[in-house]
Chain A
Amino acid sequence: MKKVPILVIRNTLIICIQNDLTDTAILELQNDILDKTYKTRVNGVIIDISSLDMIDVFLGKVISDTTKMVRLLGAQAILVGMKPNIAITLIELGFEMPNVKTAIDVDNGLKILNKYEKYNATKVLEVTELSGED
């Protein structure tokens, strides 16, 4: 079964959900995200759906639940990269995900997280570059 990679970058998890995951794989991914959020003690989780060409009610509900669960753990989750065709279809289906934070892409998602956490990624970037960790 396909395994979705979860990247940990500067206090943030980044997950890029792919097409064609089975329902079981999607639930496993939810579990992995929560596990990794807890273990790595990140501040933010970015769920990138820009490569998806469909969200049905099941996937939409898992994504929306995951962002709520992440919040309960003490981090912020942002859904990024939804395509217009998916937004149209979801609203027509009656599935609006009102409590899910969204951003246009990963970059904007990071900006929102930074504002939220009063945490400046560029400064961390400079520091790590100076210390030669990159």
Chain B
Amino acid sequence: MILGVVEIFHEKDIVIARQTARELTKDMGFGLVDQTRIVTAVSELSRNIFKYAKSGRVIFESVESGKSRGISISFIDKGPGIESIENAMKEGFSTDKGMGLGLPGVKKLMDYFKISSELEKGTTVVIIKWK
């Protein structure tokens, strides 16, 4: 079930994506540390959209598997795509002046992390955190 959608166009939308993540995870009853992990991941990935693709969309969904409930968040853009996902997932690797902690760091915070990207077509990242 879709819980919310945030369009990323402006810098301010990164803040809105964070606020949305905060409210939804609180409503779903995630513990404080998990809320923080999720909000932080949303901030990183929304910033990636704004920085590299200029615009995109963040979709928040509730997911279920057996008895467990969780939140799945998709980050979809039609930006330049990632040349080497392998490099992007390496800690310490960064194409700009960043610290290269972004993607591998987000992966560590989440239970599920999937990235797919095609050059000049865009990038999609899906993350899931189970309760």
Query: A-side interface residues toward B, CB under 8 Å?
Result: 20-24, 53-58, 61, 84-86, 88-89, 92-95
Contacts and interface: CB of A to CB of B under 8 A. Distances in A.
A57 B36 contact: no
A94 B36 contact: no
- Interface of A (DSSP majority class): helix
Interface residues of B, number: 27
Interface string B23-39: 00000000011011101
A82 to B, nearest CB: 11
Contacts of A94: 91, 101, 104-105, 108
A38 to B, nearest CB: 24
A57 B105 CA distance: 9
Contacts of A23: 11, 14, 47
B73 to A, nearest CB: 15
A20 B11 CA distance: 11
A88 B105 CA distance: 12
Interface of B: 11-12, 14-15, 18-19, 22, 32-33, 35-37, 39-40, 43-44, 47, 91, 98-99, 101-102, 104-106, 108-109
Contacts of B108: 92-94
Contacts of A88: 33, 36
A58 B47 CA distance: 9
